[in-house]
Amino acid sequence: MKSAVQEQSYLENWRWLSRQIRCALSPNDPRIIEDYMAEGRFLISCGAASAWTVARTAFRLLLDTATDPALPWHWRCLCLDQAYRPLRDMRLAARNAEHLQLWHQHGRQLAVCTLEPSISFSDLLQGHPDE
């Protein structure tokens, strides 16, 4: 079993990867999503986090990123394409009726998710015309 310090280090790395995904810090490197998922699996295996928590957190991260119009379109599409993975893991980790209800809600959110066009880079720089 890993020490608490090592587990904390892995947890911090998982959080850093989540920030990279959420902020699209490396939108041309889709391996970040796989690294994030692998780090989550490791946290589960060493007992630093529950499978349910990791799966639900990953699903929310990917869906929130996919629906953020300030991020590049291709990154948002990739996140949406990968959101089924933690949703599947949520179903496998569900241990009670509340978990199953949340899994159904998240499944519906994914099923009806539509992506608005991304905001163009020039619009991000200019801001609103009334400012």
The answer to whether 82 touches 113, Cβ cutoff 8 Å, is no
What was the pLDDT predicted at 8?
Answer: 81
Do 55 and 7 form a contact (C-beta atoms < 8 A)? no
pLDDT in tens, 47-76: 999 999 999 999 999 999 999 999 999 999
Task: Give domain limits for the chain.
Answer: 4-126
Which tokens is 3 given?
């020490």
Query: In a 3-state reduction of DSSP, which class is residue 27?
Result: coil
The CA distance from 93 to 55, in Å, is 8
Band of pLDDT at residue 119, cut at 50, 70 and 90? confident
d(CA 87, CA 122): 35
pLDDT of 4 above 70:
no
Q: What percent of the chain has pLDDT over 90?
A: 79
Contact 79, 37 (CB under 8 A): no
Report how far residue 81's alpha carbon sits from residue 73's, in angstroms, rounded to the nearest whole number: 12
**Amino acid 79: pLDDT:** 98
Indicate the average pLDDT of the chain. 91
* Whether residue 7 has pLDDT greater than 80: no
Read off the tokens for 67. Answer: 């629906």
Distances, alpha carbon 66 to alpha carbons 71, 80, 83, 113, in Å:
8, 5, 9, 9
